[in-house]
Amino acid sequence: MAKTEAPSLVGKLETEVEIKASAGQFHHMFAGKPHHVSKASPGNIQSCDLHEGDWGTVGSIVFWNYVHDGEAKVAKERIEAVEPEKNLITFRVIEGDLMKEYKSFLITIQVTPKHGGPGSIVHWHLEYEKISDEVAHPETLLQFCVEVSQEIDEHLLSEEEEVKTTETLETEVEIKASAEKFHHMFAGKPHHVSKATPGNIQSCDLHEGDWGTVGSIVFWNYVHGKWGGKGGKGED
């Protein structure tokens, strides 16, 4: 009588996602600043917090809040491997919703530059062991990874566009006063600038902190262009 082989509980799933961002940029989102992934994919990722260690270092523990299959879920993961030269990072799930159905779960993300052109290929590799044969293979989670990848790509590209549209203007004005005196007008007593140029500056008020200290908030009322008075809040 022939033996019936029991179905294996160990499985692997993988997929590739073509993106326009560079391999290094995408890798850095998971290795260097995974707490920013929620900004790129807010419908899927709510947050990523560092529980132990440092971002992007082996042995560190990160905690994800995410939405999968319409349900809010969590995952505590340990970073198992980081290879910057290969744009590779591996996470092992150690606690959370996935551990209700899987004995072990590893997620490897590797990004490679596209040959002969701009952009990259994101390779997702899921390796797992189910607790029983009734548990489904995590195919919907793989699709979740695809969606997150696409949204991260859009986020990275929009950041690039913002950098491209940022410009700098500068000029020089020769004055007779000393450098220290002029600097002190803006650092130590910007509320006196209105006395020096009342036709342009109406007032400068301190909203938070102290004059001339990092992080302090000041509020300017000024006249610019044909529309008259304007206001602007600035941070030191």
Asked if pLDDT for residue 236 goes beyond 70, the answer is no
Average pLDDT on 157-180 reads 80
User: Which tokens go with 192?
Assistant: 């006196």
Dump pLDDT digits (tens) for 6-60: 568 999 999 999 999 999 999 999 999 999 999 999 999 999 999 999 999 999 9
Give the pLDDT mean for 199-222: 89
**pLDDT, tens only, 181-202:** 999 999 989 999 999 999 899 8
**Residue 147, amino acid:** E
The pLDDT, as a whole number, for residue 3 is 45
Q: pTM for the whole thing?
A: 0.68
Q: For residues 201 and 52, what is the distance between their CA atoms, to the nearest angstrom?
A: 50
| pLDDT at site 162 | 67
Q: What is the CATH number of domain 179-235?
A: 3.30.530.20
148-168 in b/e burial notation, b at 16+ Cβ within 10 A?
bbbbbbebbeeeeeeeeeeee
Sheet holding 229-235, edge to edge: 201-208, 217-223, 229-235
Which residue, among 59, 3, 62, 13, has the nearest Cα to 33 in the 3D structure?
A: 62
Mean pLDDT of 55-76: 97
CB 87 within 8 A of CB 67: no
Give the pLDDT band (50/70/90) at residue 229.
Answer: low
pLDDT at 87 over 60: yes
Q: Are 199 and 207 in contact (CB under 8 A)?
A: no
Residue 137's pLDDT band (cuts 50, 70, 90): very high
Coil, helix or strand at residue 151: helix
pLDDT of residue 212: 87
Instruction: Decide: 37 and 48 in contact? Cβ < 8 Å.
Output: yes
Rounded CA separation 75/145 (Å): 14
Return the CATH number of the domain spanning residue range 10-163: 3.30.530.20
Query: What pLDDT is stored for residue 160 in this prediction?
Result: 79
Say what percent of the chain tops pLDDT 90: 74
Query: Tokens 């979740």, residue?
Result: 144
pLDDT at 79: 98
Indicate whether 226 pLDDT > 60. no
CB distance 122 to 17 below 8 Å: yes
Q: What is the DSSP string of 212-232?
A: T-TT-EEEEEEE-STT-EEEE
Residue 202 makes CB contacts below 8 A (sequence gap 6+) with 194, 221, 222, 223, 229
Are domains 10-163 and 179-235 of this chain identical in fold? Answer: yes
Phi, psi angle pair for 130, to nearest 5°? -75, 155
* 2 pLDDT above the threshold of 50: no
- The radius of gyration of the chain from alpha carbons, rounded to an integer in Å, stands at 27
CA dihedral sign of residues 149, 155, 161, 164: negative
pLDDT at 119 over 70: yes
Q: Domain boundaries in the chain?
A: 10-163, 179-235
Binned at pLDDT 50, 70 and 90, residue 131 comes out as very high
Angstrom distance (rounded) from CA 27 to CA 56: 10
